[in-house]
Structure 1
Amino acid sequence: MSTETNSVAADGKHRLHPSVIEDSSAGEAGVIASELMAEEASLLEAQAASNPTKSYGATEINNQQTDDNGGYALPKGKLYLLISCVYMAVFMSALDGTVVASLLTVIASELNQVGNISWIATSYLVSSAAFQPLFGKLSDIFGRRTILIVCGAFFTVGCLICATESFTLLILGRFIAGCGGSGFTSLGTIVMSDLIPLRDRGVFQGMGNICFGLGYASGGFIGGLVADWLGWRWVFILQVPLILVVTAVIYFFLHLPEGSPGLGVQGEDVHQKLKRVDFLGASLLVAGLISFMIAASLGGRIIPFTSFTFIGLLLLSVAFIAVYTYVELYVSEEPILPLEVLGVRTVLASSFANWFFTMGALAYTFYVPVFLSSVIGLSPTQTGLRLVPNFIGVSGGSLAAGIYMKKTGRYWPISAVLGGVAVLGSLKLLTFSPNSSVFTQYTITVLPGIGYSCMLTTSLLALIASVPMKYQACTTSIQYTFRSTGSTIGVTVASAIFQHILQIKLNTKIHKLVSDKKLAAKIISRALASSLYAQEAPEYVRDAIRDSYQAGCRGAFVLSVATITAGYICLLFMKEYKLHTSINRD
């Protein structure tokens, strides 16, 4: 590790040098984090000495209070109430991302906007990914409670705006709700790190992952049920009282102990805190991510990959991120995301593991159902039943990882084992065929699901443990940004591969069977438009359509294997750090 911890810029201000976070390949677990904390303390002491009137944040949590609570930040009663509300917020954030899945055509038709149907879902996903990196640093300045209440306000206002007669306002409401929802997801994780010792943290994170999975999986079903019963606007209206209850509990009960980084900067008024916000860096980062997410979300479907619009969005995204990187490294005094932490090997490894694993998981999650319905010919109900074991596997993997870490205080061994299980499970996808047994149909996604959920839990704990407490919020935001962009890239690239292979195979096979070019074109067009067409197409082309869909799905599965393997390799580069049994990491 470099002995030079800071440098003095031309303006005389102390700045952290990127090498301060440089990882070392030697040394025992926890040494690097300890060195970082010592270096950070020295820097803060120097700053405090130069300006004794200014508070540079708490550095030591109230030991007596945490000891009285068994190492936790709050008494068990308040703790469980708060964690339950955090889980509810995470559930609703995930649910709102998929709640319109079954309502797209209904909403677009009523508002006469069928041509713009994709924006109903895209607007929420784009804002969720774009604003997620900001919440960690903002909560370090203003405090977790304040920013969570702001997220509750955004989510509430967004849902109310969605109950509108205007398509434009609906898209705006979805965008605003996405800002609040992404804050709940990332800050929910950050707050749990403020409340719960790392040794126990995995169990709570596992249960949080279950809540997120339940919300994500049930969104379409709940949305359709409420819409049939009360109308689609009530899908958004009914979320408001629930989120208001969550926000109220956070307001009244989230009181962290003295010294917690979750309290934000102490001894400064709102104006002084606002001066700490890196508005330039935040604007550049959000602009870059929005450009990228729009290109990734609409590329290949609404915007052709070869179009000027798609290429322009990617170039714009690269330009914004490049300028953002320069600003964060050389201009901003308090970067919105301290890029130097990416010099810690475990931070970088866990972030890229999340990126690649999530790409692969989303690819098979989308195309296993397509395979079951179009190739094997199962009904929607039969397809849905075969996906239930995947949720059980994901829940079990996440909880098992948490329990293992609680009992052993380690995360690397189970990461290595279950990450390998995910790779083997993804390879099994390549053998999936119409002749696969019913047992295989039910269990095809279980192994990769177990490995993926384990990775989510262990990599998060590894990331938090590898840096000082001051950095736990911003590094968590970094990982969630990798995860959200990875999910969009996975779906987009898998869709592009699937559509490309499907079109080539259909053109080749159908033209061999059908001599009439007009009829062949009609069959190909209908087969491309609906994955269920194979069940009603003329008998003599059904096998050709099924074979084409099987080839397209296999292309998506190859992407899953490649990205999950890459994620597993990244996972192995994480180092083992100490998981403390108290919030005070001493």
Structure 2
Amino acid sequence: MTQSKNQTSKLQDSLPHHHELHPNIIKDSSAGGAGIIAAELAAEEEGLISNAQLKSHSYGAIAKSSSEETTTTEIDDHDGYALPKAQLLTVISSLFMASYLAALDMTVVTTLLTLIASDLKEVSNISWIATAYLLSCAAFQPLFGKLSDIFGRKILLILCSGFFAIGCVICVTDSLFWLVIGRFVTGIGGSGLTALGTITMSDLIPLRDRGFYQGLANVFFGLGSASGGMIGGLIADSLGWKYVFILQVPLALIVGISLYLNLNLPEGSPGLGAHGVDIKQKLKRVDFLGSFFLVSSLMLILTAASLGGKEIPYNSKTFIGLTSSSFILLALFVYAESYISEEPIIPIHLLGNRTILASSLANWFYTMGVFTYLFYIPVYYTAVMQFSATQNGLRLVPNFFGVSLGSVGAGLYMRKTGKYYNFTVIVGLISVLGVIRILCITPQIPLWEQFVLLLPSGIGYSSILTVTLLSLIAAVPSKYQACTTSIQYTFRSTGSTLGVAIASAIFQNVLRSNLYVKIYELVADKQEANEIIAKALENADYAKSAPKLIKNAIIGSYSAGCKGAFWFSVLAIVLGYTSSLFMREHKLHTSINRD
């Protein structure tokens, strides 16, 4: 006991006078991160690092007044990477395939919803086919960070590949119930492949190069999203819709087998999980209480957001019950993580770090805004400008190239400079100006501008996704990188669903109120007017076949509804941009060893 106190005293004496702990105090070659983990554990054990110090965002922060970057770089046997080049490329390619597959599955079914529901004679329940995947994907994604810290990335990636494959097999059915179950299981696997792929790349690649590889991962995810509809349609037309699920099974198994054979992280890597303990001890470390509260809360609020205003009226007891219950469960989750759980699934105190909170909110608001205009630009083109589905789709294609350019460009910039704050300010401004231009759209917009309309905001958003991920990881010690990645995915997945839900409520209310005012002015017979309004609300294409007298009124109402949604998009992206300005510049290390 005396010896321990003496050691503590000596360690405290070695601290700088302003009491900030430097991570290189203890050099332990057996610990991940060349001593940084051992230093943090020892310091926390002796009470030398407090939550307040972590919240003070001093870890790795670069002072704004400093014009030079620290050039100390630790190079290991693989040029700063965790694996030999050939093995690294195989693992990264597998993770890219996993990202592509998860995105593909998310959009491939959307194109086939009507076909599948009609074949199963369940058109009235069509929304559950899409909602089941999105619910499980968003609800379970936050869990994978901490779970992989306990059990290891490799085993969880293999399990998620298995879940994805099993879910697709279950979907080959003639029962709506089993199809929904299959989509739910597939969503668990898909969310894990996406989140764990991002986390695992942080175990393999130095932060300085991390943005470039994340940019490539975003390209593959975007490619999966963009090609899903086309691939789904081709397979369904030639082989039948069930083969859309059947053909994904071998791809998921290939990903799992490839990772099993090649993802061999070096000794001491945080991606290996807890060492020297059996499965029972690992299970005891799982925060089951917090996980239950978090998953339940997200499931309820996302169900309300997805079905509210459609299957569930906003003023119904069901909707009110879902939302109020979700907030109660969320409060219980925060309490459990703060005061009960020994190893919280998401450490709430991390949100006290300015960079983490700012990055998370930026993700949340940007995603709300971007998903809103991506959803309602096609509605504007269809209902207001009278475009066909093909014309509509062609105008959305350039957005993929903008997303790709932004993602990879952000990674290359950070690789070259090692910084990101000034870049964030510039691309965020581009994104804000881009969404303002979307708000100002009119039917007279030139043809060339129709094709490039989404490019500025798409470039800005994809850049922000890459930058905020790196800022989150760089803002904390390496042992928290999985948790912070989970935090980002939580904010992103809930942001997309809530954003579209809020925008939908705005759109529907503005559209309905405008239709009632304009149609009642033009049609004297109230019953006939109500029938016209009902048809206009049900079908955005109705204006094409509507009588000439009321055609402009319907088009004008849809234009007003879309503009209402675009105003929300502008507000959300401005809030996201404002949030990003509160991030701090942190060092992007050139080696996996971040000391």
Q: TM-score scaled by structure 2?
A: 0.89
Counterpart check, 1:29 vs 2:62 = yes
Partner of residue 548, structure 1: 557
Once the two structures are overlaid, the 10-residue window that deviates more, 238-247 or 320-329, is 320-329
Partner of residue 194, structure 2: 185
| Residues 59 and 477, structure 2, Cα contact 8 Å, conserved in 1 | no
Counterpart check, 1:365 vs 2:374 = yes
Once the two structures are overlaid, the 10-residue window that deviates more, 224-233 or 135-144, is 224-233
Q: Which of 231, 240, 244 is 1:235 aligned to?
A: 244
Partner of residue 46, structure 1: none
Q: How does 1:46-65 map to 2 (within 5 A)?
A: none
Cα distance in 2 between the residues matched to 1:417 and 1:403: 15
Tell me, what secondary structure is at the counterpart of 2:440? Answer: coil
| Corresponding letter in the other structure for 2:62 | A
Change (3 A) 1:288 1:26: closer
| Residues 303 and 310, structure 1, Cα contact 8 Å, conserved in 2 | yes
Partner of residue 107, structure 2: 98
* CA drift at 1:25: 8.0
Cα distance in 1 between the residues matched to 2:536 and 2:312: 21
Tell me, what secondary structure is at the counterpart of 1:206? Answer: helix
* CA drift at 1:422: 0.5
Q: How does 1:335-374 map to 2 (within 5 A)?
A: 335-374=344-383
Counterpart check, 1:289 vs 2:322 = no
| Corresponding letter in the other structure for 1:335 | P
Tell me, what secondary structure is at the counterpart of 1:90? Answer: helix
* CA drift at 1:217: 2.1
| Partner deviation per Cα, 1:147-203 (whole Å, 9 max, x = no partner) | 101101111111100001211111011001100100011111001101110101111
| Residues 2 and 20, structure 1, Cα contact 8 Å, conserved in 2 | no
Change (3 A) 1:369 1:281: same
| Residues 30 and 578, structure 1, Cα contact 8 Å, conserved in 2 | no
Cα distance in 1 between the residues matched to 2:498 and 2:437: 23
Partner of residue 261, structure 1: 270
Change (3 A) 1:16 1:69: closer
* CA drift at 1:20: 4.4
* CA drift at 1:468: 0.5
* CA drift at 1:532: 1.1
Cα distance in 2 between the residues matched to 1:163 and 1:270: 34
Counterpart check, 1:409 vs 2:442 = no
| Residues 2 and 19, structure 1, Cα contact 8 Å, conserved in 2 | no
* CA drift at 1:483: 0.1
| Residues 61 and 587, structure 2, Cα contact 8 Å, conserved in 1 | no
Change (3 A) 1:16 1:329: farther
| Residues 132 and 186, structure 1, Cα contact 8 Å, conserved in 2 | yes
Cα distance in 2 between the residues matched to 1:500 and 1:359: 19
* CA drift at 1:18: 4.1
Q: How does 1:499-538 map to 2 (within 5 A)?
A: 499-538=508-547
Partner of residue 219, structure 2: 210
Change (3 A) 1:209 1:270: same
Partner of residue 35, structure 2: none
Partner of residue 583, structure 1: 592
Q: How does 1:1-12 map to 2 (within 5 A)?
A: none
* CA drift at 1:516: 2.2
| Partner deviation per Cα, 1:495-534 (whole Å, 9 max, x = no partner) | 1111111111111111111222222222211111111111
Partner of residue 134, structure 1: 143
| Residues 30 and 466, structure 1, Cα contact 8 Å, conserved in 2 | no
The two structures, once aligned, show a CA RMSD in angstroms of 2.1
Partner of residue 472, structure 1: 481
Cα distance in 1 between the residues matched to 2:499 and 2:233: 26
| Corresponding letter in the other structure for 2:56 | D
Partner of residue 316, structure 2: 307
| Corresponding letter in the other structure for 2:418 | G
Cα distance in 2 between the residues matched to 1:394 and 1:546: 31
| Partner deviation per Cα, 1:351-376 (whole Å, 9 max, x = no partner) | 00000000000000011111111111
| Corresponding letter in the other structure for 1:303 | I
Cα distance in 2 between the residues matched to 1:212 and 1:512: 48
| Residues 503 and 528, structure 1, Cα contact 8 Å, conserved in 2 | yes
Cα distance in 2 between the residues matched to 1:203 and 1:194: 15
| Partner deviation per Cα, 1:440-490 (whole Å, 9 max, x = no partner) | 211211111111001000010000000000000011001100000000011
Change (3 A) 1:106 1:2: farther
| Residues 60 and 474, structure 2, Cα contact 8 Å, conserved in 1 | no
| Corresponding letter in the other structure for 1:306 | N
Change (3 A) 1:25 1:361: same
| Corresponding letter in the other structure for 1:580 | H
Tell me, what secondary structure is at the counterpart of 2:76? Answer: helix
* CA drift at 1:89: 0.6
Cα distance in 1 between the residues matched to 2:515 and 2:568: 21
Cα distance in 2 between the residues matched to 1:293 and 1:546: 31
| Residues 104 and 120, structure 1, Cα contact 8 Å, conserved in 2 | yes
Cα distance in 2 between the residues matched to 1:326 and 1:414: 37
* CA drift at 1:542: 1.2
Cα distance in 2 between the residues matched to 1:26 and 1:469: 11
| Residues 373 and 383, structure 1, Cα contact 8 Å, conserved in 2 | yes
Q: TM-score scaled by structure 1?
A: 0.91
* CA drift at 1:92: 0.9
Partner of residue 436, structure 2: 427
Partner of residue 483, structure 1: 492
Q: How does 1:80-229 map to 2 (within 5 A)?
A: 80-229=89-238
Cα distance in 2 between the residues matched to 1:443 and 1:270: 53
| Residues 462 and 577, structure 1, Cα contact 8 Å, conserved in 2 | yes
Partner of residue 248, structure 1: 257
* CA drift at 1:438: 0.9
| Residues 2 and 22, structure 1, Cα contact 8 Å, conserved in 2 | no
Cα distance in 1 between the residues matched to 2:237 and 2:510: 37
| Residues 57 and 475, structure 2, Cα contact 8 Å, conserved in 1 | no
| Residues 15 and 333, structure 1, Cα contact 8 Å, conserved in 2 | no
Tell me, what secondary structure is at the counterpart of 2:163? Answer: helix
| Residues 365 and 575, structure 2, Cα contact 8 Å, conserved in 1 | yes
Partner of residue 394, structure 2: 385
| Residues 85 and 246, structure 1, Cα contact 8 Å, conserved in 2 | yes
* CA drift at 1:16: 8.7
| Partner deviation per Cα, 1:47-79 (whole Å, 9 max, x = no partner) | xxxxxxxxxxxxxxxx8xx62211111111111
* CA drift at 1:90: 0.7
Partner of residue 461, structure 2: 452
Tell me, what secondary structure is at the counterpart of 1:510? Answer: helix
* CA drift at 1:324: 1.3
Tell me, what secondary structure is at the counterpart of 1:434? Answer: coil
| Residues 534 and 545, structure 1, Cα contact 8 Å, conserved in 2 | yes
* CA drift at 1:272: 1.1
Cα distance in 2 between the residues matched to 1:390 and 1:328: 39
Cα distance in 2 between the residues matched to 1:155 and 1:26: 37
Q: Structure 1: where are the runs of 5+ without partners?
A: 7-11, 32-62
Partner of residue 561, structure 1: 570
| Residues 201 and 402, structure 1, Cα contact 8 Å, conserved in 2 | yes
Change (3 A) 1:93 1:28: closer
Change (3 A) 1:18 1:319: farther
* CA drift at 1:221: 2.0
* CA drift at 1:493: 0.9
| Corresponding letter in the other structure for 1:152 | S
| Residues 347 and 475, structure 1, Cα contact 8 Å, conserved in 2 | yes
